[in-house]
Amino acid sequence: MPDLRANGLAFHAQLLGQGPPAVVFLHGVVMDNLSSWYFSVAPAVAQVTPVLLYDLRGHGRSERPATGYTVADMVADLAALLDAAGARPRVHLVGNSMGGLVALAFALAHPDRVASLALVDAHVSDGGFGEQMAGTLLLEGPARDAAIATHFADWLGRHSERKRNKLAENARALVQGTSLVADLRASPPFDPAALAALSVPVLALYGEQSDIRDRGEALAATLPCCTLRLLPGCSHSVIWEATVQVREAIVQWIQAREAERT
């Protein structure tokens, strides 16, 4: 599909299946783009119902403005994209890592537009998030390569110097050339009372060994309708370490939510 214009920017988007999109996938930040969902889970979900994938602002083949990277900006992008794509009035959101945070923030801002959430090792906007992000992103040399290996297990990128360099250049341009890190740091944490009042059904998949597993446990304790599943032996890169389980869990989740709809 051609780029979608939304919230004043051109977004690279992919529609899989025919008809109004019912599921929207959100990828992680900096060293990620829509291709991680495109090659892992999205095609199987598209066999159930139409799917929309897009590159977050500044990422992949979407436009990269110098500023405007708060969570609220990304929520506004998604609202405008749903309109531009002619999506269903209520969509299922599937978010990985920071994409999960955006999905959750969207559900809090627009609960009437969300049918369900599937969060995969999602970050939660808490106090330490900005510092942690900034630390990981401002790396160089071998530490940089290690971070790429850990945080971006690109399906074709794991052993290639050309791709590692391109990813690193791209990450550096995004981190140093835009207000992304500062904007994410400045984004306010979620209000626990608002989370406790969110009635949308949520599936939370976390790596058993993930460094942010406690976020998943906190969500399960706070959200009124949240199913937490821990994937054994997995770190934060759950979608690469347990691709089959994540795909099956999300397909079943969407099938069940779609069945309730009719």
Residue 17 within binding range of other proteins, rule CB under 8 A: yes
Q: Quick one: three-class SS letters along 63-98? A: CCCCCCCCHHHHHHHHHHHHHHHCCCCCEEEEEECH
HSE value, Cβ hemisphere, 13 Å, CA-based, for 27: 31
- Cβ proximity to other proteins, 55 vs 183, nearer residue: 55
- Cβ proximity to other proteins, 163 vs 172, nearer residue: 163
DSSP designation for 41: T
The owner of tokens 């971006």 is 152
End-to-end CA gap in the chain? 29
Residue 10 within binding range of other proteins, rule CB under 8 A: no
Applying CB under 8 A, the span of 73-81, 84-92, 134-142, 158-166 interacting with other proteins comes to 158-166
- Binding to other proteins by CB under 8 A, coded x per residue (else -) over 58-77, reads --xx----------------
HSE value, Cβ hemisphere, 13 Å, CA-based, for 210: 29
Residue 173 within binding range of other proteins, rule CB under 8 A: no
Applying CB under 8 A, the span of 37-45, 81-89, 209-217, 223-231 interacting with other proteins comes to 37-45
Record the tokens describing residue 102, joined without a space: 């955006």
Residue 243 within binding range of other proteins, rule CB under 8 A: yes
Give the SS3 label for residue 176.
Answer: helix
| Least spacing, CB of residue 46 vs other proteins, in Å | 6
Binding site for other proteins (CB under 8 A): 1, 14, 16-17, 33-36, 38-40, 42-44, 46-47, 60-61, 154-157, 160, 162-163, 166, 240, 243-244
